[in-house]
Each structure stands twice: as structure tokens, then as C-alpha cells.
Amino acid sequence: MRYHPNPISPVVSRRAFLKSSSALAAGLPLSGLFAAAQKQTKGPLMAYVGTFSSPLRDTLPTQVDLPPGNGRGIHLFQVDRNTGVLTPNGVYELGTSPSCLALNAAGTRLYSSNETDRVGDSKEGTVSAFAINRADGQLKLLNSVRSGGAGPTYVSLHPSGRFLFVANYFGGSVAVLPLLSDGRLGDATDVKSDSGNIGPVRAIHAPEGTFAFSGHDRTHAHMIQADPAGRLVLHIDLGLDRIFVWKFDCEIGVLTPNDPAGIQLPPGDGPRHFHFHPNGRWFYSIQEEGSNIVLFDYDAASGRLAARQTLSSLPSGFAGSNFCSEILVSADGRFVYAGNRLHDSISIFSIAPTGELGFVGEEWTHGNYPRSFSFDPAGRFLYCCNQRGDNVVSFRVNRKTGGLKFTGHYTPVGNPSIITFLDLSRAG
């Protein structure tokens, strides 16, 4: 079942308004002003929110994080570019927890990892492909395929746009899925299962007094993404405390171990996500149970990672349990943002000319269990998905200081997991 979208009202940007005002002062016809404004803003800014959504929770397996199932699939919103307000614009109902979303470069296709651990008799999750209506941002399901393991938790596109990578958290595996000419997904061209020594229950670098334990019971692939050049692919296994590095054959979609094949993090720290600096040479990894960030120097030619700095994701003096979540580098390469669950904060770090981080401050997420956060395309707002708070909140970004200021806007969404943006005013 699918809800009817709300009508989209036309949006005129502040820049278009200022240009129109200048034109009016110059004596241009009023009809020409509105035509100019429409030309500046051809379409809305859309937001897609993936959720944990299992309406049949009594008959489906439990999801990764409780409480499961409050979402209804992929929630669509129109974004006010000036205030950051999200206006509901429909729901694509999907009861398989589309917890991670990825857009293609043209903005014509959306892909979701559906975080279940079985579909029918198959002990695998699925990945779905959607066509995007460029007029209103609505979604149409193209197809769904098996993900190559249970509990797919992360998807990303190769820079060539020809393959989708999947990390299967419950299955401890990663997979490569080809994209067909119409944007549909083909069956996996490669699946790799993680193996090695499972880390200890307590992290080496955990805060004092922590009882945080999440994934050191078995292998748990948590993220996979190509490096900026697309020649190498990196993926994280939280249970193994390891970052894997693969060579990628973009002709046939196959991963082969790089030399070196990866790097080990301190036992129990639990690497979760990573983000490259815009210069492609600095690589920041956040550890879920260790509550820390590691700066690596990355050699794109060899795929070698060399750790250079480790620091806490939490303010000085913190004690108790915390689970880290998201890590983002600002587009200008000046700041790093790190998510803390239970502490329910986003920590802000400045980036020195050497790439090293310095703690700037923290901002309360105004909700419970911030699973992820994202910037809008202009970098003016940061949106945080409070998974257990059942809301998405927005912050205005101070680009000079890196600071975040709560806008006062709460958007109710059941168990939000990820938010991604599509600017329909740009050519598809």
C-alpha cells in the first residue's frame, strides 16, 4: 500500500527573491520577475528518511535495535531551504526496514538496504531499487534482490555508477550488486564472508564504567564504500575490529584482497563507520564501543592505512556507557561531526592543517539514540535521526565555527535511521 503524496507548493529561494527585487528596482515587468524566480527554482528539495519498519513484528525476526517497527518504510518530505522545516510528502510503505538509502549521481534512482534477516525461507535480507519521479520526487519500486547475507545495514554506489555495495550486519558479509541499464539491480556478482578472531566484550578504549556491548559475538560487516578513485573498496567489520581493503574490478564486479589486506583496530573498540576527507588522504573512523575516532593517513596508490591520532568522541570527564554512531566530514574539510548514542550528542571537532582533530564542543540531539545525521545539499542545516526518539531534528550550521544551533523543529518519524536529500531543481 502507498499513501497519496501531499501537493508540493512552489518554493522561491532567497537568492531568486533578491534577484527579483533588484530587477523590480530596475523597472522590469512583474511577469518577468516571476518567470525569473521560477527559472531559479525548477523543483523542490526532497528528503527521504529510511526507517526501521516491521508492521508484522510478531511474525518477523527482531531487528538490530529495539524498539523495532515504528516506521512505515521510506518517508518523503519537502524541505524548506530557508528554515529547514520538513513537510510530509508521502510514504512508500515497506515492512522490511529500509534502514540505509543511496541515491545515484543523476538523482533518478534510490536504493535501500532492507535490514531483515530472512525473506521467506531465505536467511538473507534484500536490497530494493526505486525510480524517482523528477517532477515530484515520488518513488516507484523497480525490483528487489537478495543482499548476500542477513541484515543488510549499509549500501553505497561505486563512483562508476555501475555497482552497488552492500554490508550485511547479521550475515557478516559484503556483496557487490550490478546495476542494470534501467537502474534495476542484478544478482550479486560477488559475496565475501568475513572471518577472523572476534574481539573482546569490553573495548580497550571504552569510557570508564561502560557496559556498552553490541557486536562482539560474531562477525558484523557494518559499512562498505569505495575510495574516492574507485579503484579500492574498504569495509568495516565491527566484531573483528578490522577495516578490510579490497581491489575492485569494475568490469566484472569482483573484490580481491589488497596487499595490505586491511588494518586491525584495538580489541573490542568496534569500528562502525568511516568518512574520507575531501583531500582523499585523511580517513576518519569512528568506533562504536570504544567511543573514539581514529585519524588514518590513506595512501590511495597502495591502499595502506596508517593510524596517526586517536581521541575520544565524548567530552572530557564522561563516564558510563555510550555507543558511537555516525561520523561526517564537512564539505569544506574543516570540521568532523561524531554521533554519540546514550550520551545523545553530536560532538564537533576542528580539523587542523595536518588533519588532526581538536574538540570544539557538543550539541544535544534533542532526542534519543541518534543513529545518523546528514547535511542538506547547501550545508546550511544538519538533520539528525533520533532512532528511539521517533523524530528527526534540524540544526543550523555555523560554517565559521562548526557549531550547531537547534532550529526548534521536530519532525515525527517512527524509528528513523537515515536521511538523504535530492534537489529537484538540478538537472537529472
pLDDT of residue 202: 85
pLDDT of residue 225: 98
Instruction: Catalogue all structural domains in the chain, each as residue range(s) with its CATH number.
Output: 43-186+413-428 (2.130.10.10), 194-364 (2.130.10.10)
Confidence band of 118 (pLDDT split at 50, 70, 90) = confident
Distance of CA 162 to the CA centre of its chain: 20
With pLDDT > 70 as the criterion, what percentage of the chain qualifies? 87
Closest CA to 235 of 264, 265, 273, 270: 273
- pLDDT at residue 36 greater than cutoff 50: no
- pLDDT at residue 69 greater than cutoff 50: yes
Confidence band of 377 (pLDDT split at 50, 70, 90) = very high
Residues 355/357/358/363 CA torsion (nearest 10 deg):
130
pLDDT digits (tens, 9 = 90+) for 304-359: 999 999 999 999 999 999 999 999 999 999 999 999 999 999 999 999 999 999 99
25-34, 67-76, 292-301: least confidently modelled range: 25-34
Confidence band of 390 (pLDDT split at 50, 70, 90) = very high
Q: What are phi and psi of 31, to 5 degrees?
A: -60, -35
Burial 162-192 (b: 16+ CB within 10 A, else e): ebbbbbbbbbbbbbbbbbeeebbbeebebbb
pLDDT of residue 290: 96
pLDDT digits (tens, 9 = 90+) for 219-235: 999 999 999 999 999 99
Euclidean distance between CA atoms 186 and 179, whole angstroms: 6
Confidence band of 55 (pLDDT split at 50, 70, 90) = low
pLDDT of residue 59: 43
Q: Are 240 and 194 in contact (CB under 8 A)?
A: yes
More confident site: 206 or 31: 206
- pLDDT at residue 26 greater than cutoff 50: no
pLDDT of residue 20: 39
14-23, 208-217, 409-418: least confidently modelled range: 14-23
* Average pLDDT along the chain: 89
Q: Are 98 and 113 in contact (CB under 8 A)?
A: yes
Confidence band of 27 (pLDDT split at 50, 70, 90) = very low
Distance of CA 198 to the CA centre of its chain: 26
261 DSSP 8-state letter: E
Question: What are the percentages of helix, strand and coil residues in the chain, rounded to 5?
Answer: 5, 45, 50
Distance of CA 322 to the CA centre of its chain: 20
Confidence band of 175 (pLDDT split at 50, 70, 90) = very high
Euclidean distance between CA atoms 36 and 17, whole angstroms: 9
pLDDT of residue 427: 74
pLDDT of residue 428: 75
More confident site: 63 or 194: 194
pLDDT of residue 373: 98
pLDDT of residue 68: 62
- What grid cell was written down for 257? 584482497
What single-letter amino acid sits at 336?
Answer: V
Closest CA to 330 of 387, 372, 376, 384: 376
Q: Are 94 and 74 in contact (CB under 8 A)?
A: yes
- For range 410-422, the mean pLDDT: 98
Query: Sign of dihedral through CA atoms 144, 149, 152, 156?
Result: negative
Closest CA to 270 of 252, 253, 288: 288
- pLDDT at residue 9 greater than cutoff 70: no
Q: How far is CA 64 from CA 150, 245, 344, 415, 420, in A?
A: 11, 25, 18, 12, 21
- pLDDT at residue 253 greater than cutoff 50: yes
Contacts of 25 (CB under 8 A, 6+ apart): none
Question: How do strand 126-132 and strand 109-114 relate by DSSP bridges?
Answer: antiparallel
For 34, the enclosing helix (H) or strand (E) is: helix 30-40
Euclidean distance between CA atoms 364 and 270, whole angstroms: 23
- For range 197-209, the mean pLDDT: 90
- For range 369-379, the mean pLDDT: 98
